């Protein structure tokens, strides 16, 4: 009988440990985003989290050149009852999502009551492998 209790207790302990390990695994962020570091952004007093998310330049081949996408996270105010994060992707050509950080730090604070706001500069914008055209070579330059 004593062996039965000991075996049951060990089985329960192993089960709890496996459950906790599974929960920790799910909490990890993809592609090294767990390496986000505290940072600052101009005009924002609070601490933010910044990092890079490395992706293949050609997603279909999943091979070849890789580029870094710039990521900025404005943490939720209520960390205990957090909901799924809000991802804001900028529209329009050349717009960087991270430029919206000041909005979410001021007028848009309500969005962060229970959600982290994640801003990702899409490839070619902001600090995500930007495509910069020298001022001398504007579209008008090529029309000559």
Q: How confident is the model at residue 12 (pLDDT cuts 50, 70, 90)?
A: very low
Structure confidence at residue 59 (pLDDT): 86
From residue 38, give the alpha-carbon distance in Å to each of 50, 69, 73, 133, 139: 6, 17, 9, 31, 38
Could you give the count of Cα atoms lying within 13 Å of 16 in the half-sphere of its Cβ? 6
pTM attached to this predicted model: 0.66
Distances (CA, A) of 113 to 65, 97, 102, 116, 138: 38, 20, 16, 8, 42
Residue owning tokens 């009852």: 81
Q: What is the pLDDT of residue 38?
A: 94
Give the CA count within 13 Å in the CB-facing half-sphere of 43.
9
Query: Over the stretch 102-136, which tens digit does the pLDDT of each residue have?
Result: 999 999 999 999 999 999 988 777 777 776 666 66
Q: Domain 36-136's class?
A: alpha beta
Q: Are 121 and 88 in contact (CB under 8 A)?
A: no
Q: For residue 111, give the H/E element and its range.
A: none
Contact at 8 Å (CB) between 77 and 112? Answer: yes
Query: What pLDDT, on a 0 to 100 scale, did the predictor assign at position 19?
Result: 40
The model's pLDDT over 15-64, given as tens digits with 9 standing for 90+, comes to 434 343 344 334 445 555 558 999 998 889 999 999 998 889 888 998 89
């Amino acid at each position: 009988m004593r062996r039965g209790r000991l075996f049951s207790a060990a089985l329960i302990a192993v089960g709890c440990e496996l459950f906790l390990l599974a929960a920790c695994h799910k909490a990890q962020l993809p592609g090294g985003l767990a390496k986000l570091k505290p940072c600052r952004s101009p005009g924002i007093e609070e601490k933010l989290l910044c990092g890079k998310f490395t992706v293949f330049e050609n997603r279909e081949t999943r091979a070849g050149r890789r580029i870094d996408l710039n990521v900025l996270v404005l943490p939720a105010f209520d960390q205990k009852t957090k909901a799924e994060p809000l991802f804001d992707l900028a529209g329009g050509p050349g717009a960087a999502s991270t430029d919206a950080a000041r909005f979410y730090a001021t007028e848009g604070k309500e969005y962060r009551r229970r959600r982290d706001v994640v801003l990702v500069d899409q490839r070619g914008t902001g600090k995500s492998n930007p495509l910069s055209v020298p001022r001398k070579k504007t579209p008008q330059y090529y029309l000559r």
